[in-house]
Amino acid sequence: MNGSTLQPGTYTAQVNIVSPAAGNSPQPVTVNLTVGQGNNSTLSPSTLAFSSQFGSGAPAAQFSNLSLATGTGQFTVTTAVSSPVGGNWLKVTPTSGTSSTSPTQLTVSVDPAGLNPGTYNGTVTVSTAGASNSPQTLNVTYTVNPIGSGGGGGTGRVLPQLAFGGNWYTALYFTNTTGSPVSFAVNFVADNGQPLTVPSLGSSSVNVNLTPRGTALVEAPNVGGLQQGYVTVSLPTGVFGYGVFRQSVPGAPNPQEAVVPLSATNATTSTLLFDESNYVNGVALVNLGGTDTFVTATARDTFGNLLGQGTISLAARTKTAVSLREIAGLQAVVGKVGSVDFTIATGNIAALGLRFNGPAFTSVPTTDR
């Protein structure tokens, strides 16, 4: 008998025994075969989906329960990532143990470090000794949402210029105007578009928990060498904030400070009013999109006459900071007062102006549209 292809249940058959010399030949023999339920292992749920916003910390871990129909069995767990090839963003604990009829909880987590916006797929494979349906597979999907997509559950905002260390300090202030507690993540991104770890925070992202009507301060202190980038945040309804730059100039009795507004994430053109009569004006530009592109800078004088035009290349999710007079095609701004339109070819832009007068500086907000 071979019951390997049969479903669980009872099967009946008859065998006839024939003997030419017997007067009562043939004799029937009834055969009963019972196929029992295999000792199956169960992994529940068998699919998990994670999501977070680019530049933010890791989303909360999720769980899947492993159990065995009867008895016990040793299990081992392995992970595999199909996208990106060779990636290691998928983690699981424990990686081995003993399965039984009582569920064993597997903790599954994902690590966004080094991942650009997109959807990533991986699997967790659980092999259990003695289980008739081993191995079992848990499918995992991880979606990294682009900046400004609302992936953090609120309104996207950007601090287009971040600087700390090398005599610079940046602070961010947030206040909750509602009567309910809220939480959100503040994400630090380097000029090259990768997560930027702030040493004092020990991470490229920090969670802010605000009580009703509460206020919070997040600091990137003046420690170590100069590091630059930008900040993204998805603010819950009723939460507002701004940034403060501080520069400590050697020999100066007091540091210089400037208040910096948070930019929206839906602008395609940012206009900067400049005064190059006695000052040097600069601009920080962030490409918020996932595509390499360029920004056209168009400068005009106080009468609206064209002073010059130039282009600035910006890779996906990167930031650049440059003085106006250093942009090819805009040298005519020197000694003039006027405006510059920064228009991105594809995607969205965040911009911030800075004006310097020797050691003194101030921030200059842009008008977005």
Cis peptide bond prior to 94, omega within 30° of 0: yes
By mean pLDDT, which of 59-63, 111-115, 128-132, 270-274 is the weakest? 111-115
Residue 166 has pLDDT above 50, yes or no: yes
The predicted-structure confidence for 222-281, as pLDDT tens digits, reads as follows 999 999 999 998 888 899 999 999 988 877 777 888 999 999 888 999 999 999 999 999
Q: What is the pLDDT of residue 109?
A: 92
**What's the count of helices (H) and strands (E) in the chain, helices before strands?**
0, 28
pLDDT band at 154 (very low <50, low <70, confident <90, very high): low
Judged against a pLDDT cut of 50, whether residue 120 lies above it is answered with yes
Predicted confidence at residue 1, as pLDDT, reads 54
Residues 6+ apart with CB under 8 A from 212: 176, 178, 179, 180, 181
Question: Which comes out higher in pLDDT, residue 200 or 125?
Answer: 125
User: pLDDT above 70 covers what percent of the chain?
Assistant: 90
**Can you give the pLDDT at residue 33?**
65
Above 80 in pLDDT, residue 24? no
User: If you average pLDDT over every residue of the chain, what do you get?
Assistant: 87
Q: How far apart are CA 187 and CA 230, in angstroms?
A: 9
More confident residue, 248 or 12: 248
Domains delineated in the chain: 41-145 (2.60.40.10), 150-265 (2.60.290.11), 267-369 (2.60.290.11)
Residue 2's pLDDT is what?
Answer: 57
Query: Span 24-29, mean pLDDT?
Result: 73
Comparing 209 with 241, which gets the higher pLDDT? 241
Q: How many Å apart are CA 319 and CA 161, to the nearest integer?
A: 8
pLDDT > 60? residue 37: no
Integer CA distances (angstroms), 333 to 304, 310, 342, in order:
13, 12, 15
Reading the block at residue 119, the tokens are 């959807």
pLDDT band for position 357 (cuts 50, 70, 90): confident
Beta bridge partners of 240: 175
Which of 11-15, 22-26, 212-216 ranks highest by mean pLDDT?
212-216
Instruction: Place 152 in a pLDDT band, splitting at 50, 70 and 90.
Output: very low
Per-residue pLDDT of 323-353, as tens digits, reads 999 999 999 999 999 999 999 999 899 999 9
pLDDT at 151: 46
What pLDDT was estimated at residue 35?
Answer: 53
Please say if the pLDDT value at position 150 is more than 60: no
